[in-house]
């Protein structure tokens, strides 16, 4: 029986506000109109590159310094549109207000809380994402935080998922990991944690988190 839930953060519970529109908005602030299609193309290239094993191997989530350096480099792919865009995108990346929960995130967390299912967030991050949750009053739903830069390890390291289960006091085989990236979030399997990898959804669509409730509660 599954009785605890471990969640990834980015692209699982929260997404970046506006996504590619961020480039258009920042361009307007910088007095440089940017074609939305060009912004979309660059945005996709940045995030496809960011998810590649080569980029993940650069250990950007082991310290705040590495995070700033590596993400600014990735975002600087957008400097072809406007010089300085990379740095502006990095500042936005670490602004808690610029991350939004998916339409079904709050409902999912509320339903787990209503059934006393303890929740952990297991995230590869180089900055303190607790502020994203607290900004929206959602930190009360999270009992344990396992953030890569505080543990000096990144996913798929099994130790991160084991630490989350330990902090929740629930054995790995009675916990469920929920994420979006098979390479990183899939590491939970090596820790003995049943794992759900959610496919990407269209912008604005629910994340598909009702699956989590069905797996835990069977309804």
* Residues at the interface with Mg ion (CB under 5 A): 8, 10-11, 180
CB of 183 to Mg ion, least distance (A): 10
CB of 11 to Mg ion, least distance (A): 4
CB of 111 to Mg ion, least distance (A): 21
Give the residue with the Cβ less far from Mg ion, 159 or 186.
186
CB of 148 to Mg ion, least distance (A): 12
**Enclosing H/E stretch for 54:** helix 53-56
d(CA 75, CA 96): 18
Chain-centre distance of CA 43, in angstroms?
16
**46 to each of 24, 70, 73, 214, 218, how far by Cα in Å?**
15, 12, 10, 34, 38
Give the residue with the Cβ less far from Mg ion, 10 or 86.
10
Give the residue with the Cβ less far from Mg ion, 88 or 129.
129
Give the residue with the Cβ less far from Mg ion, 81 or 108.
108
Give the residue with the Cβ less far from Mg ion, 104 or 180.
180
CB of 177 to Mg ion, least distance (A): 11
Task: Give the up-direction half-sphere exposure of residue 107: CA atoms within 13 A in the CB hemisphere.
Answer: 11
- SS3 call for 5: strand
- Give me the DSSP letters along 170-182: --GGGEEEEES-T
The dihedral formed by the CA atoms of 45, 182, 145 and 72, expressed in degrees to the nearest 10: -20
């Amino acid at each position: 029986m599954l009785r605890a839930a471990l969640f990834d953060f980015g692209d699982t519970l929260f997404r970046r506000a506006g996504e590619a529109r961020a480039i258009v908005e920042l361009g307007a602030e910088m007095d440089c109109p940017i074609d939305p299609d060009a912004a979309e193309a660059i945005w996709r290239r940045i995030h496809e590159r960011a998810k590649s094993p080569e980029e993940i191997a650069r250990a950007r989530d082991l310290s705040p310094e590495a995070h700033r350096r590596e993400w600014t480099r990735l975002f600087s792919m957008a400097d072809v549109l406007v010089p300085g865009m990379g740095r502006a995108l990095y500042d936005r990346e670490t602004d808690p207000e610029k991350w939004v929960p998916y339409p079904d995130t709050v409902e999912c967390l509320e339903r787990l809380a209503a059934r006393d299912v303890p929740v952990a967030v297991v995230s590869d991050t180089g900055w303190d994402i607790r502020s994203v949750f607290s900004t929206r009053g959602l930190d009360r739903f999270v009992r344990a935080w396992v953030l890569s830069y505080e543990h000096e390890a990144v996913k798929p390291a099994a130790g991160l998922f084991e630490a989350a289960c330990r902090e929740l006091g629930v054995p790995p085989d009675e916990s469920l990991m929920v994420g979006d990236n098979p390479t990183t979030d899939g590491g939970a399997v090596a820790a003995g944690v049943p794992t759900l990898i959610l496919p990407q959804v269209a912008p604005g669509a629910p994340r598909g988190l009702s699956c989590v409730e069905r797996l835990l509660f069977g309804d």
